Amino acid sequence: MTAHARIPAAEVTGMQGRLIKTFARRMLGKVPDSLGVMWHHPRAMKDAMGFGRKVEAWDELDKSLASYAAMSAAAAIGCSFCLDLNYFMAHNHGLDVDKAREVPRWRESSVFTPLERRVMEYSEAMCQTPVAVTDELSAALLEDLGPAGLLELTARVGFMNSSARGNIALGIHSEEFADACGLAPLSQPSVGVASPA
């Protein structure tokens, strides 16, 4: 990963560095190379990680739906790091990894429910410029999820959008967390499948 990062990785040092590396090993099984990239500004890194932990603690949206929303946003934006990490985290949280691996080709796959499809459609629509969320899709999800659920979905996708775009801008790529725990490779959309409008 660091060979392609646009900022060279710094050595993660000091008491705070040791704590963060310990936390990373516990959560991910290793210290990601991207930690060294972010270590150039420890406060920005810690604040972003802290907000990410807060996002993960929200509970108005079903965990599977939250995972599919994050992964479909990462796939729409093209962040291999985020997509791989969320696939790995789905495994760690005991979610259905056979479904999670299908997220990049959710439009073609037959494994998703209508609600799961609406969540991923909304996620992709939020990632477009300009944002392409329709009144009809919002109304359907409001009925499905309720106001708090729809707000959480929107906030989660917004956070993933920020994280994914930042990773791409910095040249941070997949660190193959999913491979390290023996997960099957993520599915890829078939050639010729139309991208989201």
What share of residues in the chain are helix, strand, coil (percent, to 5)? 65, 0, 35
Whether pTM > 0.85 for this model: the answer is yes
| Separation between Cα atoms, residue 69 and residue 149, nearest integer Å | 12
Closest by CA to 71, choosing from 114, 105, 22, is: 105
Q: Hunting for tokens 């080709």 — which residue is that?
A: 105
Query: What's the token pair of residue 92?
Result: 């760690």
Please return the burial class of 169, using the count of CB atoms within 10 Å of its CB with bins 0-12, 13-18 and 19+: exposed
Determine contact, residues 120/101, Cβ cutoff 8 Å.
no
Of 71, 63, 1, nearest to 36 by C-alpha is: 1
Q: What percent of the chain has pLDDT over 90?
A: 77
d(C-alpha 188, C-alpha 171), whole Å = 21
Long-range contacts of the stretch 11-17 (C-beta < 8 A, 24+): 11/36, 11/39, 12/36, 12/39, 16/42, 16/46
CA-CA distance, 76 to 143, in Å (whole number)? Answer: 25
Q: What kind of fold does domain 59-180 have according to CATH? A: AhpD-like (1.20.1290)
C-alpha span between 162 and 183 (Å, rounded) = 26
Please list the pLDDT of the chain residue by residue as tens digits (197 residues). Answer: 434 799 999 999 999 999 999 988 888 888 999 999 999 999 999 999 899 999 999 999 999 999 999 999 999 999 999 999 999 889 888 899 999 999 999 999 999 999 999 999 999 999 999 999 999 999 999 999 999 999 999 999 999 999 999 999 999 999 888 876 778 788 888 765 444 43
**Domain residue extents for the chain:** 7-57, 59-180
89-105 burial by CB neighbour count: b if 16+ within 10 A, else e?
bbbeeebebebbbbbbe
